[in-house]
């Protein structure tokens, strides 16, 4: 009897152990199926990131992982869309600029902000190469309000004084620009520097060149007036301009005179650049019709005509056009005190002698560039 009882108990224990083992195995299998399904779904949502879903999270350590994963996801999304946002900003700004001139200042600031964050420093696409006292600063200040132009404010003098520093140094001076923007710099002494055309051509054969020219007699007087304000003890204009005034011998070694012999300098440039790569701005028309002159500059640079007469007003005190007050500023933008300075009074006979001297140079210059500046 005892033997039967023990045998029955052993069978019951075996059955219980078998059932318990099977139940435990099924539980483990179900748990793995559920866990794997959750992992697969999580991977699909987060594109392969190994972060657990929020509903299964538990404890500070897991919460820390979740926070970290959320941060990575947000950062990744920002990085992937940054370039697209920058491009969209530019497109929207261009649309706004073409529809209204009243928001040009804010548009320019937004474009500069995008360029500073996402752009690159590039060698300039275009240069304002001359001439001194012709109106180069005005052209620079006017064109740089265009949202597709980024310009260096100072004169780097790379191609005349600092060429030995190398192109990497030069590039480092430039503002950051987007691919859709033009990088621009101005140094008016380039036009009269013998080596400048060759050096610029070595940088790029396709560089666009802007030359602002002015009546050479008026330009020389303006040049002298500027020098006199810094060095009041220099000789008179007449003494510097002539070797022998009674014989009408002009001193072409004086830089103020030589700069105005435009055709001589232009011939040097045409050895390295096509005439179609050069645009000549009239310093006189820049004063009387700034919008018209800047419209032609925009055309030359391949830009949409955004800078118009809505941007200018004539300052009677300075005798020069100024930019209208942008919405982001309480003051209009006029050029510095040195611009529009009253010229030294020069004897009319001296002016006529210099006009006669320059006439043959002017005529040949007109013929070469195909434009009559009406300086005679």
- Binding site members for 3'-phosphoadenylyl sulfate: 133-137, 214, 222, 339-343
- Residue 282 and residue 332: Cα distance in Å, rounded? 24
As given in the structure block, the two tokens for residue 46 are 């987060």
| Residues making up the binding site | 133-137, 214, 222, 339-343
Residue in 348, 332, 370 with CA at minimum distance from that of residue 221: 348
Residue in 56, 34, 52 with CA at minimum distance from that of residue 42: 52
As given in the structure block, the two tokens for residue 128 are 């304002």
- Residue 212 and residue 283: Cα distance in Å, rounded? 6
Q: What are the catalytic residues?
A: 133
- Residue 320 and residue 323: Cα distance in Å, rounded? 10
- Residue 193 and residue 240: Cα distance in Å, rounded? 21
Task: Determine phi and psi for 344, rounding to 5 degrees.
Answer: -65, 140
As given in the structure block, the two tokens for residue 115 are 């360029």
Other Cβ atoms within 10 Å of 81 Cβ, number: 11
Decide: 139 and 286 in contact? Cβ < 8 Å: yes
CA Rg, the chain, in Å? Answer: 37
């Amino acid at each position: 009897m005892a033997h039967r009882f023990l045998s029955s108990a052993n069978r019951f224990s075996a059955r219980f152990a078998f059932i318990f083992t099977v139940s435990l195995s099924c539980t483990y299998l179900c748990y793995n199926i559920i866990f794997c399904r959750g992992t697969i779904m999580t991977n699909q949502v987060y594109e392969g990131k190994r972060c657990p879903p929020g509903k299964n999270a538990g404890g500070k350590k897991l919460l820390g992982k979740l926070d970290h994963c959320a941060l990575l996801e947000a950062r990744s999304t920002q990085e992937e869309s940054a370039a697209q946002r920058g491009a969209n900003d530019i497109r929207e700004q261009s649309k706004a600029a073409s529809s209204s001139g009243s928001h040009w200042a804010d548009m320019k600031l937004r474009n500069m902000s995008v360029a500073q964050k996402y752009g690159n420093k590039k060698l300039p696409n275009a240069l304002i190469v001359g001439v001194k006292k012709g109106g180069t600063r005005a052209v620079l200040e006017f064109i740089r309000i265009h949202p597709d132009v980024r310009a260096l404010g100072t004169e780097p003098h790379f191609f005349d004084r600092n060429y030995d520093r190398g192109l990497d140094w030069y590039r480092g001076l430039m503002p950051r620009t987007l691919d859709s923007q033009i990088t621009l710099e101005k140094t008016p002494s380039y036009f009269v520097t013998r080596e400048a055309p060759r050096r610029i051509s070595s940088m790029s054969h396709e560089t666009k060149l802007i030359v602002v020219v002015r009546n050479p007699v008026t330009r020389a007087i303006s040049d002298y007036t500027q020098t006199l304000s810094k060095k009041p003890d220099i000789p008179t204009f007449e003494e510097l301009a002539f070797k022998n005034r009674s014989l009408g011998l002009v001193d072409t070694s004086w830089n103020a005179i030589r700069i105005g012999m435009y055709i001589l300098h232009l011939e040097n440039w045409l050895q390295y650049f096509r005439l179609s790569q050069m645009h000549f701005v009239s310093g006189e028309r820049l004063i009387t019709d700034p919008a018209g002159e800047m419209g032609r500059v925009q055309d030359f640079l391949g830009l949409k005509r955004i800078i118009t007469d809505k941007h200018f007003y004539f300052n009677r005190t300075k005798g020069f056009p100024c930019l209208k007050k942008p919405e982001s500023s309480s003051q209009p933008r006029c050029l510095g005190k040195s611009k529009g300075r009253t010229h030294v009074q020069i004897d009319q006979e001296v002016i006529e002698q210099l006009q006669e001297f320059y006439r043959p140079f002017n005529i040949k210059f007109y013929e070469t560039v195909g434009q009559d500046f009406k300086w005679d």
